[in-house]
């Protein structure tokens, strides 16, 4: 895990150095700066040091921020806003968590439902209908969908069906919390529902042709228990892997588009802002935060996988 | 006379496919008595597995049509609604399949899969079912059955899995056990053990066995009566002894000739039946074996019925050749040209 995080941070750093117009001193000095000013900033922020020194310092600062140190020069602060990066990310976490956990539950539930239903009715009109919707869902750009939803359902001047943007903390008012998040949840889930539905459908159709399903039938099991106990159970295993990684990705700030369009000031939104500003410390912070979730969830998926599939359990 | 368990009368199974109608089974009849082992022999695509699966309704599909009757305990299984047929499946007629590697669900414990079979048909507690699963595993010769019951299929060897399948099939004490190529996927040494096991358990459980195989050697071990199937129909039917010592159909000769034998002079080349089995969509006119038969003559353009042509009662075949002619020419196919 340390190795992964280290490589990710180095990569981000290198990319940042290579990006044209990335010199933070010039950007911080503002428009039409005095050359002396730039030099000053370079010195003060340590941009004149060799890049590896800067890198080590940055990592130290990030670490300090995590263990709760304060003080302007001890912690990782944004070049642009001078704000504590760790602090900013922490502030975004409840929003992102609310968005992702809600959406995750929705897409997992509906993805399985849709996949199950279309596999069971494979070839009939209901399956075709679901397939069509799934394909639309998969191919619809999230940004476009989000903008459309927001425009038509939330931004109407008269009687909008949904509130426009704004995050209401769960602790403050659970009903408003859910109400405000409904559209973003839907938006984030649509693609995954379509995708999971398709994957599960084909998994289940494969499983139905397995010989153990024929065995189950020959045992005299009812159609329902064959489907649930033998077909669905075995088909869900790959879905778990997909879900673990997708969920980690959105949790780690991957819901950039949804968060940005709906003005949800979560980690993804923060990432979008920082990238726009070419602001290295927050980009670094958000990337490491995201990588952390990916690594953790990969491990979780591995454990879950072993739990679900006895064949890969160590004996 | 033993109790008649099953009667298959003029069974026809047709699959409608994009390429046409596949006549997978075309008029098969036989009877099964308690305590007997009935062998169905034929090559791939001869309809033997479809026949067996149809008995249990496993071939039911909107693209499948059936004709004829499968009478079990006075009711026609072909016409039985699915919900009633479920009570028969696994309970009164059980089935084991060719490949034990894939016939068990990899994510459930072997014991749980046996328990599932028991609790589906009987109102027993889980612990009671488990005790029975252990006992069954012991009966089929799994060592340390009380701990192996909690193993997963991948922890079993191929032979053990087939034993577990047999245990599962016998869990509800069925009248009939259908074994569809039960030894094909196993090592030769294990094959004999499994066959012996099936034969012994048939007596222990007082049931009858339908043994499906492409290997006459397997039938030679355990079957009482044999039908040889070709292109969806029975071409010869006889007691086991007669199939081996007085075979009437050239296809049977071909099958016999293609088994390597240690008790006969070594042939120059092991016999093989020329050509390919016919397409079940476009069957040849007349005798279905005619295009591959080295002894075909004009009369074969008309299909022979399955009739008794030899003295032995119940020995039926579909071949126009005279019995004398057959007895004269068959040795060449069966034994082959001996090495000079």
- Tell me which residue has tokens 């000095």: A29
Q: Give the residues across from B225 on adjacent strands.
A: B38, B239
Query: Are A212 and B105 an interchain contact pair (Cβ–Cβ within 8 Å)?
Result: yes
Q: Among B44, B41, B49, B43, which Cα is nearest to B13's?
A: B49
Angle CA A28–A31–A34, to nearest 5: 80
CA distances from A242 to A111, A113, B88, B235, B248 (A): 12, 16, 40, 54, 61
Does residue B339 register a pLDDT over 60?
no
CA–CA gap between residue B98 and residue B89 (Å, rounded)? 18
Strand ranges across the sheet with B4-17: B20-33, B4-17, B64-72, B75-76
Q: How far is A17 from chain B (nearest CA, A)?
A: 50
Rounded to the nearest angstrom, the minimum Cα separation between B328 and chain A is: 45
Q: Does A315 touch chain B (CB under 8 A)?
A: yes
Element housing B307 (H / E): strand B307-308
Q: How far apart are CA B61 and CA A204, in angstroms?
A: 18
Taking an 8 Å cut-off on Cβ atoms, the answer to whether B91 and A308 are in contact is: no
- Can you read off the two tokens belonging to residue A198? 């398709």
Cβ of B156 under 8 Å from any chain A Cβ?
no
Alpha-carbon torsion B158, B161, B167, B168, what sign? negative
Between chain A and chain B, how many beta carbons pairs sit less than 8 Å apart?
73
Q: Does residue B226 register a pLDDT over 60?
A: yes
Tell me the nearest-neighbour CA distance from A218 into chain B, angstroms.
Answer: 6
CA atoms within 13 A on the CB side of A168: 13
Chain A residues in contact with B107 by the CB 8 A cut-off are 233-234, 237, 308-311
CB–CB contact A211 B106 (8 Å):
no
For residue A310, the chain B residues in CB contact (below 8 A) are 106-107, 109, 152, 154
Q: Can you spell out the DSSP letters for A115-153? A: HHHHHHTTTSHHHHHHHHHHHHHHHS-HHHHHHHHIIII
The closest alpha carbon to A195, from A144, A133, A120, belongs to: A133
Quick check: A210 and B94 CB within 8 A? no
Rounded to 5 degrees, φ, ψ at B161 are -65, -40
- The minimum CA-CA distance between B182 and chain A, rounded to whole Å, is 13
CA distance A293 to chain B (A): 29
Nearest Cβ partner of A220 from B91, B107, B165?
Answer: B91
Location of structure tokens 């067996």: B52
User: What are the DSSP E strand ranges found in chain A?
Assistant: none
Extract the tokens encoding B199: 């034969």
Task: Establish if B111 touches chain A: CB-CB under 8 angstroms.
Answer: no
Which residue of B82, B94, B103 is in closest CB contact with A211?
B103
Number of Cβ atoms within 10 Å of the Cβ of A121: 14
A124 has a chain B CB within 8 A of its CB: no
- What residue in A sits closest to B60 (Cα-Cα)? A217
**Looking at beta carbons, which residues of chain A come within 8 Å of B82?**
223
Helices B323-335, B250-257: axis angle to 10 degrees equals: 20
- State both tokens at B191: 């094959």
| Distance linking the first and last C-alpha atoms of chain A | 25
Strand pairing category for B4-17 and B64-72: antiparallel
pLDDT of residue A87: 78
Q: How many CA atoms within 13 Å lie on the side-chain side of B42?
A: 27
Please tell me the distance from the alpha carbon of residue A29 to that of residue A66, in angstroms, as a whole number.
28
User: Residue B315 — φ and ψ, nearest 5°?
Assistant: -95, 105
Q: Cβ(B328)–Cβ(B253) under 8 Å?
A: no
Say if residues A297 and A22 touch (Cβ distance below 8 Å).
no
The span from the CA of B23 to the CA of B286, in Å, is 15
What is the ipTM score, two decimals? 0.82
Express as a percent the part of chain B with pLDDT over 90.
Answer: 21
Best of B56, B104, B107 to disrupt the A interface (most A CBs within 10 Å) is B107
Q: Which of A219, A221, A238, A240 should one mutate to test binding to chain B, selecting the residue with the greatest count of B CBs within 10 A?
A: A219
Residues of A in contact with B105 (CB under 8 A): 212, 215-216, 230, 234
pLDDT at B134: 93
Would you say A81 and A283 are in contact if contact means Cβ atoms under 8 Å apart?
Answer: no
Q: How many helices (H) and strands (E) does chain B have?
A: 12, 12
Q: Is A206 an 8 Å CB contact of chain B?
A: no
Flag if A210 and B102 touch (Cβ within 8 Å): yes
Contact at CB, B107 and A219, closer than 8 angstroms? no
Specify burial of residue B17 (Cβ count, 10 A radius: 0-12, 13-18, 19+): exposed
What is the rounded CA–CA span in Å between residue B28 and residue B6? 13
DSSP reduced 3-state for A257: helix
pLDDT of residue B324: 84
CA B232 – CA B51 distance, rounded (Å): 9
Instruction: Say yes or no: B106 contacts chain A, CB-CB below 8 A.
Output: yes
Which range has the worst mean pLDDT, A166-170, B57-61, B162-166, B286-290? Answer: A166-170
Residue B335 or residue B140, greater confidence:
B140
For the residues B208-213, what does the mean pLDDT come to?
92
Any chain A CB within 8 A of the CB of B107?
yes
pLDDT at B279: 84
CB contact under 8 A, A218 and B94: yes
Most confidently predicted of A174-183, B230-239, B309-318: B230-239
The yes-or-no verdict on residue B189 having pLDDT over 60 is yes
A218 and B CB contact within 8 Å: yes
Contact B97 A211 (CB under 8 A): yes
Pairing of β B37-41 and β B225-230: parallel
Q: How far is CA B64 from CA A280, A294, B40, B54, B254, in A?
A: 67, 50, 22, 10, 31
Give the CA angle between residues A275, A280, A286 to the nearest 5°.
70
Cα A74 to its chain centre, rounded Å, is 29
Residues 6+ apart with CB under 8 A from B109: A310, B149, B150, B151, B152
CA atoms within 13 A on the CB side of B87: 7
A199 CB contacts (<8 Å, ≥6 apart)?
A: A115, A238, A239, A242
pTM higher than the cut 0.90: no
A218 and B95 in contact by Cβ < 8 A? yes
Written as tens digits, the pLDDT of chain A (315 aa) is 777 777 877 787 777 777 666 666 666 666 677 777 777 777 777 777 777 777 777 777 777 666 666 655 556 777 767 777 777 888 888 888 888 888 899 999 999 999 998 888 888 888 888 888 888 888 888 778 888 877 777 776 666 666 766 677 777 777 778 777 888 888 888 888 988 999 999 999 999 888 899 999 888 888 888 888 889 988 988 898 889 888 888 887 677 788 888 878 888 888 888 887 777 778 888 888 888 888 888 888 888 888 888 887 765
Q: What does each C-alpha distance from A196 to A28, A226, A304 come to in angstroms?
A: 45, 21, 18
CB pair distance less than 8 Å for A309 and B94: no
Distance from the A199 Cα atom to the nearest Cα atom in chain B, whole angstroms = 20
Q: φ and ψ at B33, to 5 degrees?
A: -105, 155
Determine contact: B117 vs chain A, CB below 8 A: yes
Pairing of β B75-76 and β B64-72: antiparallel
**B82-116: pLDDT as tens digits:** 888 888 898 899 999 888 888 999 989 999 999 99
CA atoms of B246 and B314, how far apart (whole Å): 13
Residue B250 touches partner A, C-beta closer than 8 Å: no
Nearest by CB to residue B107, choosing from A214, A219, A234, is A234
Chain A within 8 Å of B165 (Cβ-Cβ)?
yes
């Amino acid at each position: 895990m340390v190795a992964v995080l280290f490589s990710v941070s180095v990569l981000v750093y290198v990319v940042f150095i290579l990006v044209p117009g990335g010199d933070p001193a010039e950007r911080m000095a503002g428009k039409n700066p005095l050359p002396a000013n730039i030099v000053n900033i370079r010195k003060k922020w340590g941009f004149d040091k060799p890049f590896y020194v800067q890198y080590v310092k940055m990592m130290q600062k990030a670490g300090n921020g995590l263990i709760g140190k304060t003080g302007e020069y001890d912690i990782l602060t944004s070049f642009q806003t001078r704000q504590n990066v760790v602090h900013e990310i922490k502030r975004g976490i409840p929003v992102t968590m609310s968005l992702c956990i809600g959406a995750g539950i929705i897409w997992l539930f509906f993805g399985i439902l849709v996949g199950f239903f279309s596999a069971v009715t494979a070839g009939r009109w209901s399956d075709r209908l679901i397939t069509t919707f799934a394909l639309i869902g998969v191919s619809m750009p999230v940004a476009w969908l989000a903008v459309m939803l927001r425009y038509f359902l939330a931004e109407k001047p008269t009687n909008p069906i949904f509130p426009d943007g704004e995050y209401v903390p769960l602790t403050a008012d659970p009903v408003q919390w859910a109400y405000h998040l409904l559209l973003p949840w839907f938006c984030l889930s649509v693609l995954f529902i379509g995708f999971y539905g398709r994957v599960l459908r084909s998994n289940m159709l494969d499983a139905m042709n397995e010989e153990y399903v024929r065995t189950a039938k020959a045992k005299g099991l009812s159609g329902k228990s064959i489907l649930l106990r033998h077909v669905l159970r075995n088909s869900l295993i790959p879905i778990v892997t997909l879900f673990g990684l997708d969920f980690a990705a959105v949790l780690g700030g991957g819901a950039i588009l949804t968060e940005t369009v709906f003005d949800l000031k979560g980690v993804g939104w923060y990432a979008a802002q920082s990238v726009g500003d070419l602001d290295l410390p927050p980009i670094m912070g958000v990337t490491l935060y995201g990588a952390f979730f990916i690594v953790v969830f990969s491990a979780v998926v591995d454990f879950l996988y072993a739990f679900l599939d006895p064949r890969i359990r160590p004996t | 006379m033993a109790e008649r368990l099953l009667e298959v009368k003029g069974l026809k199974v047709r699959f409608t496919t994009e390429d046409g109608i596949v006549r997978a089974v075309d008029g098969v009849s036989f009877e099964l008595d308690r305590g007997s082992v009935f062998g169905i022999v034929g090559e791939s695509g001869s309809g033997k597995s479809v026949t067996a699966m149809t008995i249990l309704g496993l071939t039911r599909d909107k693209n499948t049509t059936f004709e004829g009757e499968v009478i079990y305990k006075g009711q026609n299984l072909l016409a039985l609604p699915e919900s009633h047929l479920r009570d028969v499946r696994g309970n009164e007629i059980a089935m084991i399949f060719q490949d034990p590697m894939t016939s068990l669900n990899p994510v459930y414990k072997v014991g749980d899969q046996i328990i599932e079979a028991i609790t589906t048909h009987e109102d027993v507690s889980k612990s009671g079912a488990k005790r029975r699963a252990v006992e069954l595993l012991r009966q089929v010769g799994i060592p340390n059955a009380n701990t192996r019951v909690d193993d997963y299929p991948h922890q079993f060897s191929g032979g053990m899995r087939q034993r577990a399948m047999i245990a599962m099939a016998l869990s509800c004490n069925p009248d009939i056990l259908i074994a569809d190529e039960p030894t094909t996927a196993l090592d030769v040494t294990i094959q004999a053990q499994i066959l012996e096991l099936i034969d012994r358990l048939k007596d222990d459980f007082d049931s009858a066995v339908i043994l499906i195989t492409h290997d006459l050697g397997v039938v030679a071990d355990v079957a009482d009566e044999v039908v040889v199937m070709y292109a969806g129909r029975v071409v010869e039917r006889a007691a086991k002894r007669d199939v081996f010592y007085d075979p009437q159909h050239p296809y049977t000769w071909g099958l016999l000739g293609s088994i390597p034998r240690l008790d006969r002079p070594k042939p120059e080349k092991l016999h093989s039946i020329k050509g390919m089995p016919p397409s079940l969509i476009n069957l040849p006119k007349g005798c279905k074996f005619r295009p591959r038969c080295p002894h075909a003559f004009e009369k074969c353009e008309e299909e022979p019925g399955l009739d008794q042509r030899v003295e032995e009662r119940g020995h039926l075949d579909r071949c126009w050749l005279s019995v004398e002619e057959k007895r004269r020419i068959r040795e060449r196919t069966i034994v082959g040209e001996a090495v000079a």
